[in-house]
Chains A and B, each alone.
Chain A
Amino acid sequence: MTLSAADLRDRVLAGDRRAVARAITVLERGGDDGAALHALLYPHAGRALRLGVTGPPGAGKSTLVDRLARELHGDFSRLAVLAVDPSSPVTHGALLGDRIRMGALQELPGVFVRSMASRGLLGGLGPAALEVMDGLDAAGFDLVLVETVGVGQSELDVAFAADITLVVVAPGAGDGIQALKAGLLEMADIVCVNKSDLGGAETVRNDLMAAFELSSARSEKAPAILLASSKTGEGVGALAASVRELAGDEDFRIRFGERRRRAAQRRIVGGLQREAGHAAERVLESDPVLVTSVVDGLMTPRAASHEVFRRILKGETS
Chain B
Amino acid sequence: MNHASAPIRVLVAKPGLDGHDRGAKVVAAALRDAGMEVIYTGLRQTPEMIVRTALEEDVDAIGLSIHSGAHMVLFRKVLAMLREEGMDDVLLTGGGIIPEDDARTLAEEGVGRLFGPGAPLSDLVKYIREEVEARRKASEMKES
Contacts and interface: CB of A to CB of B under 8 A. Distances in A.
Contacts of A17: 55-56
B58 A2 contact: no
B35 interface: yes
Interface string A154-180: 000000000000000000000000000
Interface string A17-47: 1100110110011111110000000000000
Nearest to B49: A106
A107 B32 CA distance: 27
Contacts of B58: 21-22, 24-25
A130 to B, nearest CB: 18
Contact of B32 (A1, A29, A93, A99): A93
Contacts of B35: 91-93
Contact of B142 (A2, A93, A100, A114): A2
Nearest to B143: A2
B52 A93 contact: no
Contacts of B89: 1
Given A2-B143, A93-B38, A96-B37, A115 B1 contact: no
Nearest to B2: A31
A273 B12 CA distance: 38
B103 interface: no
A93 B37 contact: yes
B1 A31 contact: yes
Contacts of B49: 103, 106
A95 B1 contact: no
A235 to B, nearest CB: 25
Interface in B34-52: 34-42, 49, 52
A87 interface: yes
Contacts of A100: 40-42
B30 to A, nearest CB: 10
A224 B111 CA distance: 52
Given A29-B6, A115-B37, 5 more contacts: A21-B55, A25-B58, A88-B32, A92-B7, A99-B53
Interface of B: 1, 3, 6-7, 28-29, 31-42, 49, 52-53, 55-58, 85-87, 89, 139, 142-143
Interface of A: 1-2, 17-18, 21-22, 24-25, 28-34, 87-88, 91-97, 99-100, 103, 106, 112-115, 117, 119
27 contacts: A1-B86, A1-B89, A2-B139, A2-B142, A2-B143, A18-B86, A18-B87, A21-B57, A21-B58, A24-B58, A25-B58, A32-B1, A91-B33, A91-B34, A92-B35, A93-B7, A93-B31, A93-B36, A93-B37, A95-B38, A95-B40, A96-B39, A97-B40, A97-B42, A100-B40, A117-B7, A119-B7
